[in-house]
Amino acid sequence: MLRFDCRDSNVAVVASQVRNGATVVYPTDTVYGLGCDPYNDSAVESILKIKGRGEGKPMPLLCSSLTHANKTGKFDEISIKLAEKFWPGALTIIVELTDRRISSRVTAGTGTIGVRIPDHRCALKLIDACGGVLVGTSANRSGSASARTAKEAATIKGFDILIDGGKTSGTESTVLRVNDSKITIVREGHVKRKEIEEVLTRYV
């Protein structure tokens, strides 16, 4: 395992290796993420092995901009309003997948994709250097707590690179699904239901 800090020169080196198929654990505004190139099927397979789970559960993508997010999934008026309000930030929005080049292992064959833009400078630099989109599943073995620090992340076996960005908030993102203008909160995390409802009341 190679270990780097968040200096821009290091991030550029890491991004180059990720584009060539490496797996990386990196800090975000919530917890440490475990990522790879979502278009590289073998790299995504490595992520599943590291987490110790099969292909039945989809993984989210982290994007560096709304432009990149719009290229991966279909955002309707409601999902765009939520993105404009809470991004960058700890809200994952599940939308219909439009970029069919993304590995089917990322979506687990669901035809949808969970997307967010993290509020973390180091993560955004890395994601942007990787092409604007990066797998962003939590850094942990399935069933275990997500890594909040680089020390905790380093105990995970099998990944190639660790970026040490210090301690994260430790609170995972809220996950919601937008389907035909209907909102379903899959997991309530950092962004609370009340905050989401306030936005919907204002714009819907």
**What is the domain range of residue 80?**
2-203
User: Would residue 89 be called left, alpha or beta, if left means φ above 0 and alpha means ψ between -120 and 50 degrees?
Assistant: left
**Three-class DSSP category at 183:** strand
pLDDT of residue 204: 53
| pLDDT over 70, % of the chain | 99
- In whole numbers, what is the pLDDT of the chain averaged over residues? 94
What is the rounded end-to-end Cα distance, in angstroms, of the chain?
Answer: 48
Q: Domains in the chain: how many in total?
A: 1
Residue 178: which H helix or E strand, with range? strand 174-179
Q: Any idea what the CATH number is for the domain that residue 110 is in?
A: 3.90.870.10
pLDDT of residue 203: 59
State how far the alpha carbon of 121 is from the alpha carbons of 15, 70, 74, 99, 200, in Å. 15, 21, 26, 26, 28
- The predicted model gives 2-17 an average pLDDT of 96
pLDDT of residue 182: 83
Question: Residue 33 above 80 pLDDT?
Answer: yes
Q: What is the pLDDT of residues 149-201, one digit of tens each?
A: 999 999 999 999 999 999 999 999 999 998 877 899 999 999 999 999 998 88
**C-alpha span between 15 and 37 (Å, rounded):** 10
The radius of gyration of the chain's CA atoms, rounded to the nearest angstrom, is: 16
pTM, rounded to two decimals = 0.94
The number of beta carbons lying within 10 Å of the beta carbon of residue 74 is 13
Which stretch of 51-55, 78-82, 117-121, 185-189 has the lowest confidence by average pLDDT? 51-55
